[in-house]
Amino acid sequence: MLETGTAQTGRSAAAELDRFDRTTSRWGRLTMIAGLLISVGGPVYLVLFGNLGVTSAQLWTAFGAVAATFFVIWLVEPLTYYPILGPAAMYQAFMIGNISNKLLPSALVAQTSVGALPGSKRGDLAAVMAICGAAAVHLLSLLVFVGLLGTWLVSVIPAELTALARVYVLPAVMGAVIVQAIVSMKALRPTLVALGVVLAVQYILLPLVPGLAMISTAISVIGTILIAWFTRKRAPRSAPAAPGRS
């Protein structure tokens, strides 16, 4: 009786998670499309009806320049974030922004706190809830420290401290994210591969070919994925069962 009830509970939970994935995929796509239309609606209106004198050639030239600059980010970010965030949280993350310095650390901390592995169903749910909390805290912080106290805080913070913050805040945040990811994943081999690839790209490849600086991040990510895949620990294949005799 107990085993039957446990099995039924497990099947029910799996069905609910499947329904959750289908729902988030459907509404996530619709929300992203709506966000895209809203974000480009203003510029398109100005170009078409604002009499700004912008020609189609200038528009496509500008788009090509931006695409060439950010193409690497378009390629690298989904590959980098998806294994940790999962499908539902990816929609949230790309709609909210500040993924690497806010949402990704929140998801990693939440997954570690509840003992969930990144990439698991439990890890995906932890990432979703963590991003909801991070977004709420961010909005509240903006309201208090920027909307209400912003001018006063800027006036009382010494200029020297502001200059130091600009230099060291991003490395401090990214360093914490890297350490948290290493602690959460507990995968020594991919970690060593990633460190080796980054050091090789930074100190060997770029000095030899400086023109690759714009795509160095993509080279590091793709190189790490490929090397970690081919050097992974392969489980031995079990021998096929002997055919039964008639």
Query: Six-digit token pair at 83?
Result: 């294994």
Q: What is the DSSP string of 182-229?
A: HHHH--HHHHHHHHHHHHHIIIIIHHH-GGGGGGHHHHHHHHHHHHHH
Query: Six-digit token pair at 232?
Result: 């992974």
Query: Rounded CA gap, 184 and 109, in Å?
Result: 8
Segment 7-36 mean pLDDT: 81
Segment 123-139 mean pLDDT: 91
Note the pLDDT of residue 4: 56
The CA–CA distances, whole Å, from 218 to 76, 84, 165 equal 6, 18, 28
Closest listed residue to residue 104, CA positions, set 210, 49, 56, 176: 176
Note the pLDDT of residue 130: 92
Note the pLDDT of residue 237: 57
Question: What integer best gives the mean pLDDT of the chain?
Answer: 82
Note the pLDDT of residue 3: 53
pTM here is 0.67
Indicate the range of 3-7, 80-84, 141-145, 158-162 predicted with least confidence. Answer: 3-7
Q: Are 220 and 201 in contact (CB under 8 A)?
A: yes
Q: How confident is the model at residue 245 (pLDDT cuts 50, 70, 90)?
A: very low
User: What radius of gyration do the chain's Cα atoms show?
Assistant: 24
Query: Six-digit token pair at 149?
Result: 């106290």
Q: Is 50 exceeded by the pLDDT of residue 120? A: yes
DSSP state of 146: I
Segment 65-76 mean pLDDT: 78
Note the pLDDT of residue 214: 78
Q: Is the dihedral of CA 38, 40, 43, 49 positive or negative?
A: negative
Segment 182-203 mean pLDDT: 86
Segment 152-160 mean pLDDT: 81
Query: Six-digit token pair at 40?
Result: 């480009």
Note the pLDDT of residue 203: 93
Q: How confident is the model at residue 69 (pLDDT cuts 50, 70, 90)?
A: confident
Segment 220-237 mean pLDDT: 80
Query: Rounded CA gap, 120 and 86, in Å?
Result: 8
